[in-house]
Amino acid sequence: MTEVSSLKVSGDENDYIDEKKVQQDTVNHIADDVEIEPILSMVISPNGEKIIVDMAHADEALQFAREAEGIVVTPEEDRKLCWKIDMCMFPLMCLIYAVQFMDKIATGSAAVMGLRTDLKMKGNQYSWVGSAFYFGYLFMNLGPVQLIFQKTKYMSKVLAVFIMIWGIILTCHAAPSVNYASFIALRVLLGCAESVVTPCFTIITAQYWKTSEQFTRISIWFGMNGLGSIILNSMAYGIYIHKDSYHIEAWRLLFVVTGVITIFLGFLIFLWIPDDPSNARFLSRHEKLMVVQRIRSNQQGFGNREIKKYQIVEALKDVRTWLYFAFTVSSNIPNGGISNFISILFNTDFGYSTKDTLLMGIPTGAVEIVGCPLFGILAVYAARKKIPFWQNRLTWAIFAAVLALIASCMLGFAHKSKGARLGGAYLWYISPVSFICVLSNISANSSGYTKKWTVSSINLVAYAAANLAGPQTFIAKQAPDYQGAKIAMVVCYACMIVILSILLFINIRENKRRDKIQAERGGPENLQNLEFADCTDFENPNFRYTL
């Protein structure tokens, strides 16, 4: 089928195209290929371009949207439905995100439990253990993830298969024949398997929750990294203190237990999480229609399986895409280093024993599991009360970046105070709030399903590349304090603050420009179901960027 979901027509008189001819030719072409009659309309984009909207290539929510047009969702019904979705979707999503973080930091705990010694690692070889994971993550987000998940209509089922595969790979980390080379290979494969979780969760969040609700939800499921840290460190401690009672090394058993938990959760995802709201078994037909009504304000729908090249090009031209990219590089170079080296810092820089090191890792999870959701809740409260400046989620991202900068300075420069350095190490775990904000911005502000996947993929390429580079800032000859890595963290967080400020300024300015244009045109575009036409944020005149 020919791609004609929206056709840009220049307003220049020399490039003028007869709109009726365009519409009629399109109708005739589509009529040969499809049985349903396409619905064509035209809107004027915020940039003054004429956009021919073809509902035959619209969002998959359109069928429900037409059926739901007469439904009025009261505030009480909306709250009950939102609560039901939270209760049915969130527990599993949170557990999966906790487990995926357990997988990432398991190498840090294993390192102080004997991994480096048993695999005969020397020099900077352990740094490559952390980086190897992100080679796989990087490869998958260069294209395969978007191609697989946008084209399939069974997103959650495919996600579940990937989760079970990564669980199997994780258990293989414990094989007796594993040496350094094979361990590195397993880390690359694990990165391939785990690369699908964050983009899929971002899409799922956009399908069920309003833009005003998304930051809080992402804060909660992303904050479960803290739960994963608590579980992993507690489990590692329990395994380590009984290490003499096992037939295999304690660090190998740690990977087996974590892998089995992952496989089990993969089965649960396969059985329970729906591919989109239209086939959610926990929602009645009426509730599914209510979901469509409540997400109209997002100016987005469930998704579209057709990969539209013009939306990929638009994503590449959008300055926000590259601000997200620059931000993610700045925020995740420190993340890649700390995730893999925090246990080693506790052991070498702070001087804790192996047993105490595993215990000292537990508060890091407590800070994250409390801090990240708390920031999301405070942001919602500030938005409801319309508190100036603080009602913008990007403001909270900037505030979290400032706290991360302070934490990095404490960790890096408080040489005479072990307590201050320890406080900095724990305060650092507030830093993911900024990254959560960017994920919610991509979910809310990248409209058009292909564009959303493209922007998300580019952002996660940056995430992988930065986390790949992060462990390399921890240079073996700078042990035990790794001062160079700590200085790199300070520089990165200073850059983050600048990038987030620019992003906030651009969105505020663009929203004001669109409001002015809309006022000049006499009000919003009233094309029926425009929200579900799979238009991009550049095309939809009713779209406003979430701050």
pLDDT digits (tens, 9 = 90+) for 489-521: 999 999 999 999 999 999 999 999 999 998 988
**Cβ proximity of 91 and 220 under 8 Å:** no
Q: What is the pLDDT of residue 160?
A: 94
Mean pLDDT lowest for which of 38-47, 188-197, 530-539? 38-47
Backbone angles phi, psi at 424, to 5 degrees: -65, -40
CATH superfamily of this structure's domain 75-521: MFS general substrate transporter like domains (1.20.1250.20)
Q: Between 258 and 412, where is the model more confident?
A: 258
DSSP string, 107-151: HHHHIIIIIHHHTT--TTHHHHHHHHHHHHHHHHHTTHHHHHHHH
**Cβ proximity of 276 and 152 under 8 Å:** no
366 three-class SS: helix
**Cβ proximity of 489 and 431 under 8 Å:** no
350 three-class SS: coil
> Strands 50-54 and 6-9, how do they pair?
antiparallel
Q: Is 383 exposed, middle or buried (0-12, 13-18, 19+ CB in 10 A)?
A: middle
Q: Is 175 exposed, middle or buried (0-12, 13-18, 19+ CB in 10 A)?
A: middle
pLDDT at 15 over 50: no
pLDDT tens column, 183-196: 999 999 999 998 88
CA dihedral (528, 529, 533, 538) in degrees, to 10, reads: 80
pLDDT at 260 over 90: yes
Q: What is the pLDDT of residue 147?
A: 82
d(C-alpha 4, C-alpha 18), whole Å: 16
58 three-class SS: coil
Q: What is the DSSP letter of 312?
A: H
Find all residues with CB under 8 Å of 286, minimum gap 6, and list them: 71
Instruction: List, in sequence order, the alpha helices (H) in 385-417.
Output: 393-413
3-state helix, strand, coil in the chain (%, to 5): 75, 5, 25
d(C-alpha 220, C-alpha 16), whole Å: 50
pLDDT at 316 over 60: yes
pLDDT tens column, 464-478: 899 888 888 888 888
Q: Is the pTM value of this prediction over 0.85?
A: no
Mean pLDDT lowest for which of 298-302, 417-421, 504-508? 298-302
Q: Is 524 exposed, middle or buried (0-12, 13-18, 19+ CB in 10 A)?
A: exposed
Tokens of 287: 């509730």
386-391 contacts at long range (C-beta below 8 A, 24 or more positions apart): 391/547
CB-facing half-sphere around the CA of 526: CA atoms within 13 A:
3
pLDDT at 265 over 70: yes
CB-facing half-sphere around the CA of 336: CA atoms within 13 A:
32
Quick one: average pLDDT of 255-261? 93
**Cβ proximity of 71 and 293 under 8 Å:** yes
What rounded mean pLDDT belongs to the chain? 83
Mean pLDDT lowest for which of 35-39, 132-136, 316-320? 35-39
249 three-class SS: coil
In angstroms, how far apart are the furthest CA atoms of the chain?
Answer: 83
Find all residues with CB under 8 Å of 423, minimum gap 6, and list them: 407, 410
Q: Among 64, 62, 41, 68, which Cα is nearest to 53's?
A: 41
**Cβ proximity of 224 and 392 under 8 Å:** no
Amino acid at residue number 44? I
Tokens of 245: 């009672």
pLDDT at 122 over 70: yes
Give 55's pLDDT tier (boundaries 50, 70, 90): low
Tokens of 265: 């959760």
Q: What is the pLDDT of residue 485?
A: 86
**Cβ proximity of 541 and 514 under 8 Å:** yes
Measured between alpha carbons, how far apart are the two ends of the chain, in Å?
37
Q: Where are the domains of the chain?
A: 1-57, 75-521
Q: Is 384 exposed, middle or buried (0-12, 13-18, 19+ CB in 10 A)?
A: exposed
Amino acid at residue number 398? I
